[in-house]
Amino acid sequence: MKRLAWLSAALILALLIPLFMGGTDMFHRLRAFPLDLLLIMFGMVLVGWCCNTARLRLLLGDSASGLSIRKSLGVVMATEFAYSATPGGSGAPLTLVALLSRNGIGPAKSTAAFATDQLMDLVFFLMALIGILIYALFHNLSERLEWMLIVSALLIVAGLVACAGFARYHRRIILFNGVLLKRFNTKATTRMRWARKLLHFRDALAETWKMPHRVLFQVFVLTCLHWGLRYSVLYLTLRGLGADVQWAWTFLIQMLSLSAGQFSLSPGGAGTAELTSAALLAPMVGKSTAAAAILIWRAVTYYFYLIAGGPVFLLMVGKPLLNKLMRLKGA
């Protein structure tokens, strides 16, 4: 109950931030927002889910033969819900492993698929940042935008270095993990179990990366399509509100805001993402427009994930795992 209360408090805080910032002018802008554009953005989220379903099946390979497309879509929606409802998205891998294991797919394979999926995301964001940097060379940038580019690049490079470090020094990492667990007086059987899990994960990840280059390229194309659609929501929202902000800067605003939300360890970055995006966006378009844009953007890319994914999660997983996720502590 405490975790559910925390989630509710975070959602209320996230809603109050744009409401207090925008004032009554925000409601006038919301009423004037085109309904057809709002429906298009919800449709973009649905297309993004379909893209994620396709790339999950590609990463699972032959293991996905016993998993129907409909179930695969349910797995994606439930995992997205868990990501949005838990601190730092910590519930996503647990949910994915639990759902796939019920369909005969082992934890190592499902975890490797999740890790490869995340790595593809990092590669996409790095390439997008390089493209924005090239674009920025031909435009005058403010100090704020230069800072945004630098911080975003550092975050992506750090993630890629961590992935490369595990691939190159996995034996040392496993030994270090054993020493660390020993210092916490963990049983030898537990240390061996964790070592086996890391080895199985390493083997499954290596097997995934041995997939045909054509398949990996298809996964990357789907990754680009998914994130391109999702990160265009704020841009379209601002266009619908009559603001003229280039897509590249809305991309950076979303990346920094959502990254700050993850580091805050609030469920789905609720509250922190709104504050960060408000600080970055308000100087560009004004407080009332920024508040309306943030409210619409988060409604489409966050609250909709909770509303649509929650029932799917409960149907596929049930209350026991939900209670377990709510007990997770951000780390």
Tell me, yes or no, whether 331 lies in a domain. no
Is 262 a domain residue? Answer: yes
**Is residue 292 domain-resident?**
yes
What's the pLDDT at 323?
62
The pLDDT value given to residue 273: 87
Residue ranges of the chain with pLDDT lower than 50?
A: 329-331
Provide the CA 203 distance to its chain's centre, in angstroms: 25
Per-residue model confidence (pLDDT) at position 167: 63
Q: Please indicate, yes or no, if residue 21 is contained in any of the structural domains.
A: yes
Number of domains in the chain: 1
For residue 78, the model assigns a pLDDT of 92
Q: What is the pLDDT of residue 140?
A: 66
What is the distance between the alpha carbons of residues 265 and 256, in angstroms, rounded to a whole number?
15
Q: In the prediction, which pLDDT does 329 show?
A: 44
* Tally of CA atoms within 13 A in the half-sphere of 224 that contains its CB: 12
The pLDDT assigned to 331 comes to 39
Q: Write out the residue range of the structural domain in which residue 153 sits.
A: 2-326
Neighbours of 263 (CB within 10 A): 13
The phi and psi torsions of 185 (rounded to 5 degrees) equal 60, 40
Fill in the amino acid letter for 308.
A
Would you state the structure tokens that stand for residue 32, as one six-digit string?
């004037």
Structural domain contains residue 31: yes
Alpha-helix residue ranges (DSSP H) falling in 61-142: 69-85, 91-101, 107-136
Residue 28 is assigned to a structural domain of this protein: yes
18: in domain: yes
In a domain, 58, yes or no: yes
Whole-number pLDDT of residue 294: 94
Residues 6+ apart with CB under 8 A from 49: 73, 76, 77, 80
Q: Beta-carbon neighbour count of residue 23 at 10 Å?
A: 12
